C-alpha cells in the first residue's frame, strides 16, 4: 500500500488519519477496560468497608474516589479523538495528530499510578493499615489523570481550531 502514497495525491494523509482513528479507538477501549477493572476493585473494597463497621468512616473517601474514577473513565471514553473529519491531511496537521497521540500515551503512566493506588488500598485493608492515606493517593492519581485530560482538551482546541 505504500506505493499508493506516491501515486495518489493525498492518499498518504488519508491513510495516516484512518490509521490514527483506529489507533485512538483501540487505545481508548484499552484504557476504558483497565479503568473499569479498577472501578470493580474499588467497588469490592467499598463492599468490604460496609462489612467492617470499624472502617465505615472510610466510605466517604471511597465514594469520592469512585465518583472521580467514573468521571475520568467517562472523559476517556467520550473525549475528542484528536482529529476531525475536515482536516486536509497537510504535513502540519499530520504532525499535530501524532503529537496528540504521544500526549495520550502519557495517560498510561497515570493509569498505572491509579492501579498502584488501588492495590495499596486493598493491601492496607487486609493488613489493617492506614487506608485514609491510601485513598488520598488514589484521588491524587485520579486528579492528575483528570488534569492531563484537561491539558489534552486544550491541545486539541489549539490543533483543530
Q: For residue 134, what is the domain's CATH number? A: 1.20.120
The answer to whether the CB of 46 falls within 8 A of the CB of 118 is: no
Residue 99 CA: distances (Å) to CA of 44, 76, 95, 159: 38, 17, 6, 10
Helix (H, G, I), strand (E, B) or coil at 75: helix
Question: Can you give the pLDDT at residue 137?
Answer: 95
CB atoms within 10 A of CB 36: 13
Mean pLDDT rounded to a whole number for the chain: 83
Q: What is the pLDDT of residues 31-76, one digit of tens each?
A: 889 999 999 999 999 999 998 888 888 999 999 999 999 999 998 8
Runs of H (alpha helix) within the chain: 2-7, 11-51, 59-78, 91-105, 107-127, 131-160
Average pLDDT score over residue span 148-158: 81
Does position 78 have pLDDT exceeding 90, yes or no?
Answer: no
Average pLDDT score over residue span 124-134: 85
Sign of CA dihedral 106, 114, 44, 62: negative
Q: Structural domain tally of the chain?
A: 1
Q: Please give the model's pTM, rounded to 2 decimal places.
A: 0.78
Q: How would you class 148 by CB atoms within 10 Å of its CB: exposed for 0-12, middle for 13-18, buried for 19 or more?
A: middle
Supply the range of the domain harboring residue 27.
2-160
Average pLDDT score over residue span 23-29: 81
Does position 113 have pLDDT exceeding 80, yes or no?
Answer: yes
Which of 9, 6, 10 lies closest to 18 in space, CA to CA? Answer: 10
Amino acid at each position: 500500500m505504500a506505493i499508493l502514497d506516491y501515486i495518489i495525491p493525498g492518499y498518504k494523509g488519508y491513510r495516516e488519519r484512518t490509521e490514527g482513528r483506529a489507533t485512538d479507538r483501540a487505545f481508548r477501549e484499552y484504557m476504558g477496560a483497565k479503568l473499569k477493572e479498577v472501578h470493580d476493585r474499588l467497588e469490592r473494597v467499598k463492599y468490604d468497608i460496609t462489612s467492617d463497621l470499624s472502617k465505615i468512616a472510610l466510605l466517604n473517601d471511597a465514594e469520592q474516589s469512585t465518583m472521580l474514577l467514573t468521571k475520568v473513565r467517562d472523559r476517556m471514553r467520550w473525549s475528542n479523538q484528536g482529529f476531525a473529519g475536515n482536516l486536509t491531511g497537510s504535513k502540519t496537521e499530520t504532525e499535530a495528530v501524532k503529537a496528540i497521540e504521544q500526549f495520550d500515551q502519557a495517560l498510561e503512566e497515570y493509569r498505572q499510578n491509579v492501579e498502584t493506588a488501588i492495590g495499596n488500598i486493598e493491601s492496607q485493608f487486609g493488613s489493617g493499615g492506614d487506608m485514609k492515606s491510601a485513598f488520598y493517593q488514589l484521588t491524587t492519581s485520579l486528579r492528575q489523570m483528570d488534569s492531563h485530560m484537561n491539558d489534552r482538551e486544550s491541545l486539541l482546541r489549539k490543533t483543530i481550531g
